[in-house]
Structure 1
Amino acid sequence: MIKDYQDLQQLVSSAGVIFSEQNPTYQFEFSQAENGACTLLEKKSGKKFVFMLAKLGAELKLGFAFYDANEPQPDWIDDVLASGSTTKTLCQLLESEFV
């Protein structure tokens, strides 16, 4: 369960490692920005996901944007409830774009 940016960063980093272990063709580089947002960059393709948190009313949302290689604008943006986000759901998200 994500409650803050520290939880988000740990979850995203773990999901990148787990996905790479299950799919050795893909290797991710994790980074975090000063504002707490974090990025998973697939090293070979240059494609990446950027993850951030947003409070909408009483709900905490996990927002994410997918960028094709070296593109300045995201291909698509979405969000889900942060409370339901797990390494499994993030791995499924990675699989939907990379496999």
Structure 2
Amino acid sequence: MDKHVKFIAQCVILGLAGAFVLLYLFPGLYPARDDSAAERGREGIVSYSEAVAGVAPAVVNVYATHIKRRAIHPLFHDHLFSSVFGPRVPAEQRYS
């Protein structure tokens, strides 16, 4: 077990050392830091109008055109049944 841990530790250390050497010799491999986003974040959001304009076409209005009433099964009024299965099912549903 000790040999395996030592081998894994050596591989990790060698890999990290190699990565640091590569980044030191070739700094272009590491992406440049973009501070403009951090500066914009400090200003704060002035308006949500662009976000609202972008999602406005996705907003829909859902309404019912008729209501269907149905009879409730007598078991729904049973106390034991309702204690096991929860509250009653609604007696009416709206359909569009």
Using the size of structure 2 for normalisation, the TM-score is: 0.22
Q: Which has the higher helix share?
A: 2
Higher strand share: 1
TM-score, structure 1 length as denominator? 0.21
> Which of the two has higher C-alpha Rg?
2
